[in-house]
Amino acid sequence: MQAIGIDIGTTSICGVVLDIKTGELIKSVTRDSNAFVSGSADWEKIQSVEKITAIATDILDALISEETAVIGVTGQMHGIVYVDKDCNAVSSLYTWQDGRGDQPFGDTTYAEFLGSCTGYGNVTDFYNRQNGLVPESAAGFCTIQDYFVAHICGLKKPKIHITDAASFGLFDLEAKRFTCENGVDFVDGFKLAGAYKNIPVSVAVGDNQASVLSSISGQDALLINVGTGSQVSVVSERIITANNIETRPFFEDKYIAVGAALCGGRAYAVLKDFYKSVLSGVGKADDKTVYDLMSTFFEEKGEALTVDTRFAGTRADKTVRGSIQNISVENFTPAALTKGVLEGMIQELYDMFTAMGVNIKGIVGSGNGIRKNKALITATEKRFGYNLKIPCHTEEAAFGAALYGMICAGCCKNVGEARKLIRYI
């Protein structure tokens, strides 16, 4: 028997098929969604719900077979789509990247007025209500993955899992309730939402939780994800409160403490663009050529520069800026700068980890930034003091959605049993 996992990401949509007994990844399909649509301002980051739904459905249909026992779904958190009383989409998807929360509101911003972050659903909704942008027919809102599940299952109201609901912000984790009135109802635990072509479909869950579920085989390891952004996540028995740390609901009454770097892996791409602009006037300077050149810098000996890679600020303070220090006549070189940027990326994550105040017995890595950069792996292992384990499967969120679906359908008894299917390189 097989399980399908669908991950509706920001720029792509992925579907995987895995063997329920062995955890073997049988098939994986990824398609660029190209779903962004033009807004009225540069800070608007909205996407076509219809396009996302069509692509996700096509991928799902291509993966379904007589062996399919369950379908699990996950996707981008924080963002919202408005739905009417029959659960039809009546707006575009306002993604987690949308910047309306940073717009002026009185003597502050919409996000700061609510004590939340821009891109979070309740902040987006607050801005829209204040500016008359909520569709008249809207009966509520949900994430794009909640909408997709409702769409394929023919639901009249979205079923929102707590992992997605909490991502809207203004959520009291201890009391498990919102601190604002938004009309959002949510479910907890392991629940089926309905069926598609007579196949059970689980409620959708947050992509951070799905990735943790499919990457960490035990509760005593730290997950380090490096992509465009970067995160450190650890499963905790308690709510952790610290600067730049957000605690999110997990499964089986546990939590995930998350530290998210806004720039993260993008810092390395920013450095690439810098080198590219310099080289473009003297010869070939495509991305691959520049990245290959940067990789040779790690073979050079010498002291790295000290680089603070918070180029995009932090969630708590967008005005924070990066810096380059410890410059001398000997180390003011491309090699020292490149090494310094990588070490700075990892240092930011390490600082978030130490702020959590938790004990770990290992580290697990995920994301293309980790998988495709041996130098970053080396820097991570050196800073954290553990050998880095990397899951064999590359689509962690989709794989985790499949595992969650398996638990919902009774194919696995619990999280511990599902995690036994995780294999590392």
Stretch 238-256: mean pLDDT:
93
Q: Is the pLDDT of residue 93 over 90?
A: yes
Stretch 258-265: mean pLDDT:
84
pLDDT score of 249: 97
Phi-psi region of 368 (alpha: psi -120 to 50; beta: other; left: phi over 0): alpha
Stretch 299-324: mean pLDDT:
86
Percent of the chain with pLDDT over 90: 80
Kindly report the number of other CB atoms within 10 A of residue 140's CB atom: 18
Residue partners of 253: CB distance under 8 A and separation at least 6: none
In which band, very low, low, confident or very high, does the pLDDT at 219 lie, cut at 50, 70 and 90?
low
Q: What topology is assigned to 2-211+393-419 in CATH? A: Nucleotidyltransferase; domain 5 (3.30.420)
Are 161 and 204 in contact by the 8 Å Cβ rule? The answer is: yes
pLDDT tens sequence across 131-163: 999 999 999 999 999 999 999 999 999 999 999
pLDDT tens sequence across 158-210: 999 999 999 999 999 999 999 998 989 999 999 999 999 999 999 999 999 99
Q: Is the pLDDT of residue 314 over 90?
A: no
For residue 3, the cross-strand partners are 18, 70
Are 47 and 64 in contact by the 8 Å Cβ rule? The answer is: no
pLDDT score of 54: 98
pLDDT score of 367: 85
* Beta strand spans in 67-162 (E): 68-75, 81-83, 93-94, 104-105, 108-109, 140-142, 160-161
Are 226 and 376 in contact by the 8 Å Cβ rule? The answer is: yes
Stretch 273-281: mean pLDDT:
87
pLDDT score of 266: 84
Q: What topology is assigned to 221-360 in CATH? A: Nucleotidyltransferase; domain 5 (3.30.420)
Locate 248 and state its tokens.
């999110």
H or E segment and range at residue 389: strand 388-389
pLDDT score of 205: 98
Stretch 364-385: mean pLDDT:
90
pLDDT tens sequence across 25-62: 999 999 999 999 988 899 999 999 999 999 999 999 99
Most confident of the following: 154-168, 224-238, 301-315: 154-168
Stretch 302-317: mean pLDDT:
85
**Residues carrying CATH 3.30.420.40, the chain:** 2-211+393-419, 221-360
* Rounded Cα distance, 61 and 70, in Å: 13
The mean predicted confidence, pLDDT, of the chain is 93
* Beta strand spans in 135-254 (E): 140-142, 160-161, 171-172, 177-178, 186-187, 192-196, 199-202, 205-206, 221-226, 230-236, 245-249
Reduce the DSSP state of residue 390 to 3 states and report it: coil
* Rounded Cα distance, 121 and 77, in Å: 9
pLDDT score of 261: 86
Stretch 62-72: mean pLDDT:
98
Main-chain dihedrals φ then ψ at residue 150, nearest 5 degrees: -60, -40
pLDDT tens sequence across 98-117: 999 999 999 999 999 999 99
In which band, very low, low, confident or very high, does the pLDDT at 298 lie, cut at 50, 70 and 90?
confident
Percent of the chain with pLDDT over 70: 100
Burial of residue 106 (CB within 10 Å: 0-12, 13-18, 19+) is exposed
Residue partners of 236: CB distance under 8 A and separation at least 6: 247, 254, 255, 256, 257, 356, 358
What are the start-end ranges of the H helices in 244-367? 266-279, 287-296, 334-356
- 6 or 218: which carries more pLDDT confidence? 6
